[in-house]
Structure 1
Amino acid sequence: MLAGVDLSGRRILVTGVSAGLGVETARALAAHGAQVVGAARDLAKAEAATEVVRAAAANGGGLELIELDLASLASVRAAADALVAKGEPFDVVIANAGVMAAPFGHTTDGFETQFGTNHLGHFVFINRIASLLRPGGRVVSLASAGHRFANVDLDDPNFTRGDYDPWVAYGRSKTANILFAVEFDRRHRARGVRAAAVHPGGIQTELSRHLEDGAIEAMIAQINADLAAEGKPPFELKTIPQGAATSVWAAVVGEADEIGGRYCEDCHVATNVTDGPLSVASEGVRSYALDPDNARALWAKSEEMVGEVF
């Protein structure tokens, strides 16, 4: 994706640089000359994990780490305020960090863990540093095919009614990540700042740490049984570099007008927008995840939840 691309002089923020996709995304960008600001909850872990980023840095590229706990709005606001006070602009912000299928719990501020971490933490952080995005800048919001599990529930975002399902909660948070990109893009495109959501693909990373042993294998077996019934080849997990490719493509390669307000997968914009049948391994995005009215409603609900208007 970055063959022949010179990112010298570009400043890019990536959240979740203590493992997996975040580290690889930062490595690829720094290797092509970008100055990367990596955000992580555990700085000691991130320092060790990003040695490969510093080793790969070339053409003036480099890495700076900042502390950011997306499950704490106090941490989010402190990190954002420090960046704004510093005043150095960004060309791209990649909202990569997240949790998946976590047991029922709450963030520091009392939000359901996955919605609070994956969506609300990034919602506050990115909005607070939005003024630092240069004209021509971009926001890349990491979503997932898992958004198909559920639309957002603006009446009960914290599962105060009904039984908690970790995959439904994950689906809600990933749909929110897409809707955030849709509305952020609408609000900022006039000044040349665009936003897109990306699905990196099925990848074995620390994101699956909450799953029981054998859960991934069982899911792949079911997917392959469904694909075989359709006469399609078996599903294969992506490597971490393959997964990071779509983030990098949306951040610096794809045309701004092509990716703005859209859902991207496999280094292109998804063209299959449907509420019809979709297997986990198939391409496509649910229409509710790109619905502008849904996006505006989520934005308003998010502002209400965090007590801040953007």
Structure 2
Amino acid sequence: MSGTFGDTTTTDEILDGVSLRGKRILVTGASAGLGVETARALAAHGAHVVGAARDLDKAERATRVVREQAANGGSLDLVQLDLADLASVRACADALVADGRRFDVVIANAGVMATPKGTTADGFETQFGTNHLGHFVLVNRIASLINAGGRLVNLSSAGHRFADVDLDDPNFEHTPYAEFVAYGRSKTANILFAVEFDRRHKERGIRATAVHPGGIHTELARHMTQEAMDALITSINETQAAAGGVPFRFKTIPQGAATSVWAAIVAAPEEVGGRYCEDCHVAELVEGEGLRGGVRPYALDPDHARALWAKSEEMVGERF
């Protein structure tokens, strides 16, 4: 069935005929864009969705459509989560563990992109701290709640091809800061986290994967100027033309969220476990330059993934 899906497939097409009644799914970043659409599609097919968001007032407004379209027993609850503050992350995780209800899927959707140089509440570089370390602590603290046979889906990006992680200088203390290098590091970390989480939990039938949603007009790009966006698209198109590919086009939000839903619900677990997916299929390894299609080998390297895990534990002061 997955062979019929591609870059224009929408969330509703992925879930056509699928009942998620009785499934409980956590989606972070449920206050805008892909997070809201992911929650909407899941709840519309019967899932009980727990949406995590930093700004609950904003999330309440943004997710009205989720509640309006929930069907077949689907529902939505919201919880407060600021991934840039580990006190908030731990409080959220502790509350979920104390509640005790289990999850079938965790979709680590929230994130920031190309932010100015800055730090999280705990002193980590903003993008690495928010996109990776916040989710690293949250997911590991609630890992015992994930049902056997469950899944973790980490939202990564083709932007992982901007940079590998730097385990010697994750906070740019000795390296000149560049917005997209920092973004690339954090998105590579999202993939490597999935690789190692998958290795550690697959004996319980829990599989982890990372996905690239595609280029979509969402709040994620709020730190980019129009000039920077135009330059990025020009660069992508030049690479595409050189490879004989088609020009870049933005996806709609339902198309962008489709790969997350596909990897979480429809794809075979052994197909996506420990892998990187795009356009509703598992991506191929690539070595060349450019941002269109494929995954860099360093992002799937198991030794690299274990080293990142150890470094992440050291940075957050917890062992998992």
Normalising by the residue count of structure 2, what TM-score does the alignment of the two structures yield? 0.94
Aligned to 1:137: 150
* 1:292 corresponds to 2:305: no
Residues 169-208 of structure 1: matches in 2 within 5 Å?
A: 169-208=182-221
* 1:118 corresponds to 2:128: no
Q: What letter corresponds to residue 302 of structure 2 in structure 1? A: P
Aligned to 1:250: 263
User: 1: CA distance between counterparts of 2:30 and 2:201?
Assistant: 26
User: 2: CA distance between counterparts of 1:240 and 1:151?
Assistant: 27
Tell me how many residue pairs correspond in the alignment: 307
- Quick one: percent identity of the two aligned structures? 73
Q: What letter corresponds to residue 36 of structure 1 in structure 2? A: V
Query: SS in structure 1 opposite 2:226?
Result: coil
* 1:309 corresponds to 2:307: no
User: 2: CA distance between counterparts of 1:127 and 1:183?
Assistant: 12
Task: Point out the more displaced range, 79-88 or 216-225.
Answer: 216-225
Query: SS in structure 1 opposite 2:251?
Result: coil
Deviation at 1:278, TM superposition (A): 3.7
Deviation at 1:233, TM superposition (A): 2.3
Aligned to 2:285: 273
Kept after mapping to 2: 8 A contact 1:278/1:284: no
User: 2: CA distance between counterparts of 1:278 and 1:8?
Assistant: 43
Deviation at 1:201, TM superposition (A): 0.6
Deviation at 1:142, TM superposition (A): 0.3
Aligned to 1:22: 35
Deviation at 1:14, TM superposition (A): 0.1
Q: What letter corresponds to residue 148 of structure 1 in structure 2? A: R
Task: Point out the more displaced range, 218-227 or 97-106.
Answer: 218-227
User: 1: CA distance between counterparts of 2:243 and 2:145?
Assistant: 48
The unaligned stretches of length 5 or more in structure 1 are: none
Task: Point out the more displaced range, 230-239 or 154-163.
Answer: 230-239
Residues 24-63 of structure 1: matches in 2 within 5 Å?
A: 24-63=37-76
Deviation at 1:243, TM superposition (A): 0.5
Deviations 1:89-142 (A, max 9, x none): 000000000000100000000000000000000000000000000001000000
Aligned to 2:251: 238
Q: What letter corresponds to residue 290 of structure 2 in structure 1? A: S
Query: SS in structure 2 opposite 1:134?
Result: strand
Kept after mapping to 2: 8 A contact 1:95/1:142: yes
Deviation at 1:230, TM superposition (A): 3.6
User: 2: CA distance between counterparts of 1:226 and 1:182?
Assistant: 28
User: 2: CA distance between counterparts of 1:304 and 1:231?
Assistant: 44
User: 1: CA distance between counterparts of 2:246 and 2:228?
Assistant: 21
Q: What letter corresponds to residue 262 of structure 1 in structure 2? A: R
Deviation at 1:220, TM superposition (A): 1.6
Aligned to 1:7: 20
Deviation at 1:215, TM superposition (A): 2.1
Deviation at 1:216, TM superposition (A): 1.7
User: 1: CA distance between counterparts of 2:245 and 2:232?
Assistant: 17
User: 1: CA distance between counterparts of 2:210 and 2:125?
Assistant: 22
User: 1: CA distance between counterparts of 2:132 and 2:88?
Assistant: 15
Query: SS in structure 1 opposite 2:222?
Result: helix
User: 2: CA distance between counterparts of 1:294 and 1:227?
Assistant: 29
Normalising by the residue count of structure 1, what TM-score does the alignment of the two structures yield? 0.97
Q: What letter corresponds to residue 305 of structure 2 in structure 1? A: A
Aligned to 2:11: none
Deviations 1:249-284 (A, max 9, x none): 0001000111100000000111x213x214222x21
